[in-house]
Chain A
């Protein structure tokens, strides 16, 4: 399998050839930053287009078709439109917190984004408690949303932010528990080791029933974490105009939009990392020829393909179910998902202790 660390190692040595070490590190960090911004922007645009086409397909419409072939240039047009809209200067708001909120939302998704395993040797932040760091970093986002709603001094934004706060913190528990289930199975929190452990079968197949239950719980909770699907009460447009970002205009609003789609990619990426093997190709023990053919497909294609597949599931979910009420949403989490998650954890522990997994 092609190892990307050969390329990065060569770059490192080449830079070290004519630069002192501190300058090399700086140049590399700047390169990483630029690459991250490019990947972030491109993915967000692709995801917006993907969602529009997919939702159109599910509703027997055509979606964007006018701008460019198959409406492909629509994604650039959307971003450009966002940039040239006026940023309205509001009165009666808490200016500092209002300006701070988009930074928090973007920083939270950027930190999580940096942890994703893109391919063999192609990963930015990778250390022994990687998954734990991901959970911690992604929970900063809720602060940004709460601040955005509170500082806008508007009834709709306040209600939207409070709903979003209650929803995101509640479902974070289920996300945490299903990640914990996989950590019990794998016995490690490092992202590289998690991926390596799945070289002879993905955790979804290796972990029997508990892994499957954890996968389903993760999908439901992830949909709620990203404020989408049947759980989009924070921005229920029929009741709350646009929820917590009602008062944001132009590019300021664009950040929330960007972060929503990037978070969709991030939760799909985490799902593919934990349950579908990250960048690891589909391997069946014993089928050596088949495994060799699968190894021929680049690892980055595997990762993005899996993420797009999980996103497809989440979007299917979103466009098939009506919005739930807040009491139904909290009931689902606290009375069903959370107890099931706890018992699933114990079940997984028993499976691991008695070596019942593959």
Chain B
């Protein structure tokens, strides 16, 4: 059932444009009524009054990326599990066994990462 018999794709685009429109409109209003002043110190990075040293767009701690990679693995798993979840009743035991094998491989992966110390924050 769709609201007003509009296609859901159209509604998605409407929601997308609404979001963009909200930001754009609020920014235009803010630009119009907010004060403007300029001083060279104002444009500097705010690091609590301490002068900034060096660039901040640099290589960063690898620990965060490790979790991103782990996330990728398990998120794809969720994507695969959603279609099964809808029909799990009709698939019955055969479906449960095959998904069980799929999950077992993934849990093995998690156990491997755990054992290797990938889940420790260093």
A residues neighboring B (CB under 8 Å): 5, 8-9, 11-12, 25, 28-29, 32-33, 36-37, 40, 82-92, 94, 102-103, 106-111, 113-114, 121, 123-127, 132, 135, 150, 152-158, 162-163, 165-166, 169-170, 172-173, 176-177, 180, 183-184, 187-189, 192, 241, 246-247, 250-252, 254-255, 326-327, 330-331, 334-335, 338-339, 342, 345-346, 349-350, 352-353
Contact = CB atoms under 8 A, between A and B. Distances in A.
Contacts of B56: 152-155, 157-158
B115 interface: no
A29 B6 contact: yes
30 contacts: A5-B1, A29-B6, A32-B11, A83-B30, A84-B35, A106-B19, A110-B18, A110-B22, A114-B11, A124-B11, A125-B12, A153-B55, A154-B46, A154-B47, A166-B64, A170-B71, A172-B71, A173-B75, A177-B78, A183-B85, A184-B85, A189-B86, A241-B46, A241-B48, A254-B26, A327-B121, A330-B121, A331-B121, A339-B110, A353-B93
B36 interface: yes
A85 B16 CA distance: 27
Interface string B16-45: 111111110011011101111110001111
Contacts of A114: 11-12, 14-15, 18
A271 to B, nearest CB: 18
Can you list the 3 inter-chain pairs with the closest CB atoms, starting with the nearest?
Answer: A327-B121, A110-B19, A251-B30
A19 to B, nearest CB: 13
B107 interface: yes
Interface range for B: 35 or more
A156 B50 CA distance: 12
Nearest to B11: A125
A331 B86 CA distance: 31
A209 B18 CA distance: 40
Q: Indicate the member of B22, B29, B103 with the most A CB atoms within 10 Å.
A: B22
Given A40-B22, A165-B64, A335-B114, A192 B47 contact: no
Contacts of B38: 89
A67 to B, nearest CB: 20
B119 interface: yes
Given A110-B16, A327-B121, 20 more contacts: A37-B18, A37-B21, A82-B30, A84-B35, A87-B31, A87-B34, A94-B57, A109-B19, A110-B22, A124-B3, A127-B8, A157-B56, A172-B75, A180-B81, A184-B85, A189-B86, A251-B26, A331-B121, A335-B119, A342-B107
